[in-house]
Amino acid sequence: MKIEDFDFDLPEELIAQTPLEDRTSSRLLVLNRNTNEVEHKHFKDMKQYLNKGDCLVLNDTRVLPARLYGVKEDTGAKVEVLLLHQQEKDEWEVLAKPAKKVKVGTTLSFGDGKLRATCTDSLDHGGRIFKFIYDGIFYEVLDELGEMPLPPYIKEQLSEKDRYQTVFAREEGSAAAPTAGLHFTNELLDEIKAMGVTIAFITLHVGLGTFRPVSVDNVDEHEMHAEFYHMSKETAETLTRVKSENGRIISVGTTSTRTLETIARDNGGVFTESSGWTDIFIYPPYTFQAIDGLITNFHLPKSTLIMLVSALVDRDSILNAYNEAVEKRYRFFSFGDAMLII
């Protein structure tokens, strides 16, 4: 398939720049996988489509305030740093800008010396390895000095950091939020549980590669970035039970989907406690082994994410639904409205 097969016209003014005050008040486009029927609801209405015995799977990753602004200790030159992956306890792979100012041995200072970092290695792709020096707990220092690494299509600053976190975020490590989960409140989750629907958690730390555009014409030639995932024994047992009792597994977000499908693929369709790195690329045609439904936001044209949702239904139905969403002025991307495919 060609990348152009997943293109659609999106007016720039439909890209949501700020989150809604009430997380659950976004709109919800419901797409029936069997009939291709489209309904227009609000997110709170998603309860109407859940049954007792179903299971919602949420990604509990927590976004790091991973963007830091510092200065070179020797010259005072300004440098922006973005944390990517933790290597050892205090060593991180980072992107530095401008990278040419940061050579091995360079030391940066952040927050008047509250946090310092020395470059210990330069990587082939332009990244750097930094060893951080600080007093206290690293994540507390980072929370004080760092900014949320919002996607490049969001131009406005957040007034509250927590609005780019899900209410159930707990596992530190993401460079971006699992945005389908942003629509939930603790109250809504309690209401869903009271219906007899199970809530289960997995972890996938979202990397910056999620924003990287597909640069090849032929979809088959695209290489996905790898991201770390973990499924606990408790979640594996829960999902196994739900399947055995003919309940549906409804994934919240493409990150949860990629994790569930990776584990099912690697274990013959069985859920088991596991951790690792996944570079699974889901696009049509694809046979899903793990999920029965999906809650997701609206994705960029020609992105790997719109390819994934197209694999769950079919490309024409997804593009028709997207065009209808554009027509009805839905809000798109991270802070935008949601879609339920069931």
- Output helix, strand, coil percentages for the chain, rounded to the nearest 5: 30, 30, 40
Q: What band does 210 get if pLDDT is binned at 50, 70 and 90?
A: low
Q: Please state the separation of Cα 2 from the chain's center in Å.
A: 24
**Helix, coil or strand: residue 119:** strand
Residue 151 in this model has a pLDDT that exceeds 90: no
Residue 180 in this model has a pLDDT that exceeds 90: yes
Residue 215 in this model has a pLDDT that exceeds 80: yes
What gap in Å lies between CA 142 and CA 164, rounded to an integer?
16
What gap in Å lies between CA 31 and CA 281, rounded to an integer?
23
Average pLDDT rounded to a whole number, residues 16-33? 96
Lowest mean pLDDT among 174-183, 218-227, 275-284, 322-331: 218-227
Lowest mean pLDDT among 58-67, 78-87, 132-141: 78-87
Residue 247 in this model has a pLDDT that exceeds 90: yes
Q: What is the pLDDT of residue 158?
A: 79
Lowest mean pLDDT among 116-125, 236-245, 314-323: 116-125
Average pLDDT, the chain: 94
Average pLDDT rounded to a whole number, residues 319-326? 97
Residue 245 in this model has a pLDDT that exceeds 70: yes
Structure tokens at 76: 């005072």
Residue where the block lists tokens 């406690």: 273
Q: What band does 212 get if pLDDT is binned at 50, 70 and 90?
A: low
List the one residue out of 43, 293, 55 whose CA is nearest residue 182.
43
Query: With pLDDT > 90 as the criterion, what percentage of the chain qualifies?
Result: 86
Q: What is the pLDDT of residue 291?
A: 98
What gap in Å lies between CA 156 and CA 55, rounded to an integer?
35
Angle, CA 28 vertex, CA 25 and CA 33 arms, to 5°: 160
Average pLDDT rounded to a whole number, residues 294-302? 96
Q: What is the pLDDT of residue 318?
A: 97
Q: What band does 261 get if pLDDT is binned at 50, 70 and 90?
A: very high
Average pLDDT rounded to a whole number, residues 178-186? 97
Q: What is the model's pTM?
A: 0.90
Q: What is the pLDDT of residue 162?
A: 87
